[in-house]
Amino acid sequence: MNNGAYNPYQHAQAQFDQVAELVKLDETTRQLLRQPMREYHFLIPVHMDDGSTKVFRGFRVQHNDARGPAKGGIRFHPQETADTVRALAMWMTWKCAVVDIPLGGGKGGVICDPRSLTDSEQERLCRGWVRQVAKNVGPWNDVPAPDVMTNSKHMLWMLDEFETIHGGRFPGFITGKPVGMGGSLGRTEATGYGVVYTIREALNDQGIDIKNTSASMQGFGNVSQYAARLYQELGGTVISTCCWDNNDSKAYAYVNRNGLDIDQLCSITDLYGGIDKTKAQDLGYEVYPARAWLEQDVDILIPAALENQITKDTVGKISPKVKIIAEGANGPTTPEADEVLKQRGIFVIPDFLANAGGVTCSYFEQVQSNANFYWEKDEVLSKLDIKMTSAFKAVNDLAKRNNLYMRDAAYVISINRVAQAVKMRGWV
């Protein structure tokens, strides 16, 4: 996750500094916004099934809550780092601001590999995480959600522990819950659908018929699966994806020039988005080294797994045919690679805009939970489409008007909104 010299927090700060200079942000506001307001680092002792006790390291970072309660997922990953969590919390602040929802940025994590833990060990880990931060999170100050290698089951255990500690019912404390237990219809599809809503708008803006386009993506978890489904329903063709083989834990690219059969691939995919390579080969998929997803002759690239994927070393492998990159993952493109993409004129839909469908629908879930009134799925997805389309058009219009790169335009909108909030509150 933090590969070699790459530091996602420095990456996030470099992006911020560049735009802070562009909009002539005053020094005090820069200091306030370029780092988290609060961080919690803690140890979680967990009784394991074999009778031993293992100690895990956990984090919760609240970057900024001037516009509303902090909001952000909890990641379980063996290579999780404090700097990754800091960067993601910061990106969440900009993500909530760019789609104009009244939330701030937060993020959490635990250094662990849930694939090596039993369900009961995962439950004790989830409850232990909540016990460490129960006084510092809640429906009105910090609302967690699922992220890498966490899911609705984990969220419900965390909710139950929070409610046990506080002695009441607080379904708005956490989002990504199971439907029927305070979860929102449409939440599962939201991030992937949001990515495709922005792709659809970008293609319309460029006068390109989606039916004449092809795409390659990285990842085959929740985001990728639903992005691929909707993109193909709209007429596009996904020819490649890249993900872990759930037998040897190495990543491979899976290619079918006629288009991926999403249902077929899902039938050989585990809970964490890992595909069984042998079964994929038996189904006729070509299997290549992981980076091949980036090298396909397609119109659209959708990095939708982890950060630090399009780098100065890999950006040169991108096909001249690629017109659009939609960042379904957080921080997939390094600043050095970004400069190359600018020079090549590739239209980049930046991560905190492209993948904001997840937090937007999480906000809808929070609203429904706090009101104890739940919407139908069509209403959720319709509201999501309106929010994502409106946000894309605002960023795209600013980019055109001021001749800005899309990422810079998105940052200008987000940073101005958050800066205005801290100033109106009298913090600076």
Active site positions, annotated = 107
How many CA atoms, within 13 angstroms, populate the side-chain half-sphere of residue 192? 22
C-alpha dihedral over 91, 93, 98, 101, to 10 degrees? 140
CA 285, 290, 294, 295 torsion-angle sign: negative
DSSP H or E run through 253: strand 251-255
Interatomic CA distance for residues 218 and 215, integer angstroms: 10
User: DSSP secondary structure string, 366-420?
Assistant: HHHHHHT----HHHHHHHHHHHHHHHHHHHHHHHHHHT--HHHHHHHHHHHHHHH
Closest CA relative to residue 270, chosen from 117, 124, 123, 149: 149
Coil/strand/helix, residue 261? coil
What single letter denotes the amino acid at residue 13? Q
Coil/strand/helix, residue 346? coil
Interatomic CA distance for residues 306 and 84, integer angstroms: 11
Beta 104-111 vs 70-77: how paired, if at all? parallel
